[in-house]
Structure formats: C-alpha cells, structure tokens
Amino acid sequence: MGPDFRVLVRKSRKQAEQYHRLYKEPIPVTQLVREVAAVMQEFTQSGGVRPFGVSLLVAGFDDNGPQLYQVDPSGSYFSWKASAMGKNVSNAKTFLEKRYTDDMELDDAVHTAILTLKEGFEGQISAKNIEIGIIGADKKFRVLTPAEIDDYLGEVE
C-alpha cells in the first residue's frame, strides 16, 4: 500500500539523519533495517493501530559492501543476496536462484532483474511501466531515467 510505504520512508529518512547527526557517519544498512523493522513490529502490538501493509526491500552500500534486506509487516527482516516480492514471487525466486552469481557486474544485475520482472509481467514491459534504482560503490542511490531503462530493455530483447 503506497501511503503506508510513504510513512515508513519518512520514518527511515529521519532515523538515518538522526544517526548522522550523532555520529557524523552514514547509517549502516543493518542499523537502518533494524530501526524500521522495530517500527513495523510496534504497529503489530500497540493498541488502535494496524500493521503496515507493505513489505520492504532495503538495499544499500556501506562499509560492509552492498547489502539487501527484506522487511515484512510483522517486523521480521532477512538478509538476501537476491530476492523478490509480490506477484509471482515463487517463480521469481526460482528464476533468481538459477541466474544469480556472486560476481555479477551492475549491468548484469540490472539485466537479471528485468528478466525476473518480465517473467510475471502482464502486458508489454516498457520504460514507462517499470522503475529501476541502483546503488554502486560510489554509495550514491540513483533511479534510472526512462531513456536508460529503454537501453537495458533493448539489450534484453
């Protein structure tokens, strides 16, 4: 659910900034995940609220290298090398198990991600109906422009 997601994003951004204010260091991925998960768990136990209707995939690059975490509405979180969520999740995970390798380059990873998405995609996949975000060793998160997505899609075809 989109609105639930926005609340969590706001909360995580604030947590990350608070960490930075205290330690003048970017927050490690594990710490941020822990704090977001704690918030989500709170909403399964407090009165008069309902759990967040979202599962999160949190990806980041810190001193321990690139990391990926999945956080469920219950507040439990799992570390993944590759993961999928939502529609067609079991097929997608099987696909990833076959295609994922530890020494992938970023481009390969984007290709694999697009292919995984294509598996369960209804209709024609295009730059207008998917979003891709990447984070590399420069530790800068970037959402790809439609033009860049088109390039990748072209290579996939």
Partner 1 sequence: MSIFEYNGSALVAMVGKNCFAIASDRRLGVQLQTIATDFQRISKIHDKLFIGLAGLATDAQTLFQRLVFRHKLYQLREERDMKPETFASLVSAILYEKRFGPYFTQPVIAGLGDDDKPFICTMDAIGAKELAKDFVVAGTASESLYGACEAMFKPDMEAEELFETISQALLSSVDRDCLSGWGGHVYVVTPTEVKERILKGRMD
Among 11, 34, 99, 118, binds partner 1 (CB under 8 A): 34
Tokens of 3: 């609105």
Site residues for partner 1, 78-117, by CB under 8 A, read: none
Which residues touch 148 (CB under 8 Å, ≥6 apart)? 132
Q: Is 21 among the residues that bind partner 1 (CB under 8 A)?
A: yes
Which residues touch 80 (CB under 8 Å, ≥6 apart)? 68, 69, 70
Cβ closest to partner 1, residue 35 vs residue 112:
35
Among 23, 124, 140, 154, binds partner 1 (CB under 8 A): 23
Burial of residue 71 (CB within 10 Å: 0-12, 13-18, 19+) is buried
What is the total count of residues that contact partner 1 (CB under 8 A)?
9
Closest CB 137 distance from partner 1, rounded Å: 17
Question: Which ranges of the chain does DSSP label H, i.e. alpha helix?
Answer: 2-23, 29-45, 89-99, 106-119, 146-156
Closest CB 80 distance from partner 1, rounded Å: 19
Q: Is 76 among the residues that bind partner 1 (CB under 8 A)?
A: no
Question: Checking DSSP bridges between strand 65-71 and strand 56-62, what pairing results, if any?
Answer: antiparallel
Closest CB 24 distance from partner 1, rounded Å: 4
Q: Which residues bind partner 1 (CB under 8 A)?
A: 21-25, 28, 30-31, 34
